[in-house]
Amino acid sequence: MTIRRRAHNSRICSVSSHPVPKTLRISVEDQKSVTVDPHRLVAFCSRVLVAAGLPQTEAVVVAESLVAADLCGMGSHGVSRISDYLGRLDDGLIERRTRLEIVSETPTTALLDAGNGWGQVASARAVELAIGKAREHGSAWVGVRNSNHNGTGRYWVSRIAEAGMVGIAATNGSPVMAPFGSREPSLGTNPIAMGAPTRSGAPVVLDMATSSQARGKILLAAKNGEPIPEGWALTADGAPTTDAQQAWDGVLLPMAGPKGSGLAMMIDILTGVLTGARFGAHMPRMYADPEPQRLGHFFAALDIAAMTPMEEFLDRMHVREHETRDSAPAEGFTEVLMPGDVEDRRASHRARAGIWLPPAIHQELLSTARRYGVHQRLVV
């Protein structure tokens, strides 16, 4: 079936107390970089995606998820991805229109086949299904197979949290990380995200890769000509490196050794082995292999009201948050934060001041747009 996009909250990032301003103001931050209003950036990216052949509704879903990542400071999963997405589209590795099929369904579970369409479009439908099922039955689990990169997990669990539920989201990916004790990559960075609502409106969100760092950060560093910290990756020959390009061509390391490796393995089982998606070394590499990835995602939703009264939960969450933030900082720290606080602060600031685009990403966006006949400027 062809997805029909549901009406939803117009906020670009799930920070309830800091809505994005509606004015489309752009200012030049310096001679090389630009600061772009989030709404204008969504409109620009949507227009480019439509010019490349996506339906308007799907283009907006993809653009909003990417700009949300930039708004929260997660530029590795932001608009820097558009040129890479469209390169795969032009090579026939992603379908222009996402046609979703429900493979199996029970009152509390569902499995979707994305038809090699857009990961964000498939994820939007999966989250919608999970919320609806959890609202009726208390909890739900929805898997997706035959999909593609779907942006940040934060974006999806925030939607679930905004519905008054605890959300979990995960995805597998290209085999770029070696299992603990190996030098051969057979795991993706396999990120997982969890979110829970709060009284303030901004959910508590944990979003992390199981590698030492998300591979998108290495891609962004390579595009910007920047080094990476030690301990992120090895070269193809197994030597430590701070060169982003060598790391990109090499192997990522799991976070916390066997712990990150084991978590990545379980996520691969849940998103790939269980759903019928590709997994492990069977997954084509996104930037190297001329094949569709056909990766997998999963989304879980737990309706808080099925476990405890919502107001009681929010009161207890308020205590939990303040107990953490009010605790005494350790040496070298000035404050103690809850998961997602850093991203919430960035989103609040960038909603007012705009999203800063590095010179390389700004120029790449304009070049990509021109390739599809879009000559709109980001600086006005």
| Catalytic annotation, residues | 149
Residues near 11 by Cβ (< 8 Å), separated by ≥ 6? 19, 20
Give the number of other Cβ atoms within 10 Å of residue 247's Cβ: 28
- Residue 241 main-chain phi, psi, to 5 deg: -150, 150
Give the separation between CA 259 and CA 313, rounded to whole angstroms. Answer: 30
CA neighbor of 153 nearest in space, from 197, 105, 125, 190:
190
Judge contact between 377 and 369, C-beta under 8 A: no
Judge contact between 140 and 150, C-beta under 8 A: no
Give the separation between CA 89 and CA 79, rounded to whole angstroms. Answer: 16
Give the number of other Cβ atoms within 10 Å of residue 90's Cβ: 13
Judge contact between 164 and 197, C-beta under 8 A: yes
State the burial class of residue 230 (Cβ atoms within 10 Å of its Cβ: 0-12, 13-18, 19+): exposed
CA neighbor of 4 nearest in space, from 54, 53, 57:
57
Distances, alpha carbon 208 to alpha carbons 194, 217, 280, 317, 373, in Å: 9, 12, 19, 21, 37
Give the separation between CA 223 and CA 246, rounded to whole angstroms. Answer: 13
Strands 355-357 and 192-196, how do they pair?
Answer: unpaired
Give the number of other Cβ atoms within 10 Å of residue 332's Cβ: 5
